Amino acid sequence: MKFFNLGGGEIFLILLIAILAVGPKETAKLARQASDVFKNVRGVLGDLTSDITRAASDVADAVDTKKEE
């Protein structure tokens, strides 16, 4: 599985370093916070994609209307 272009071994190494650096309890807390951030970013990107799609459709409609005139 690739996540941010990282393989399983690389992700494991990052998690191991995080556990050693801040401890297991803090690592779990940081993982939950990171998960919340990723969920929020995914929602914002979804909204942005919808807005861009809607704007592109409006522009295409305006161009089509202008061509008909």
Residue-wise pLDDT tens digits, 37-50: 989 999 999 999 99
Assigned domain for 38 exists: yes
Kindly list the distances between the CA atom of residue 53 and the CA atoms of 33, 42, 56, 61, in Å, as whole numbers in the listed order. Answer: 30, 16, 5, 12
The answer to the question of residue 16 being in a domain is no
Q: Which helix (H) or strand (E) holds 34?
A: helix 24-68
**How many Å apart are CA 49 and CA 66, to the nearest integer?**
26
Kindly compute the dihedral angle of the four CA atoms of residues 38, 40, 44, 49, in this order, to the nearest 10 degrees: 50
Residue type, 36: D
The residue range of the domain holding 32 is: 24-68
Residue 31 has what pLDDT?
84
Domain count for the chain, please give it: 1
The pTM (predicted TM-score) of the whole model is 0.56
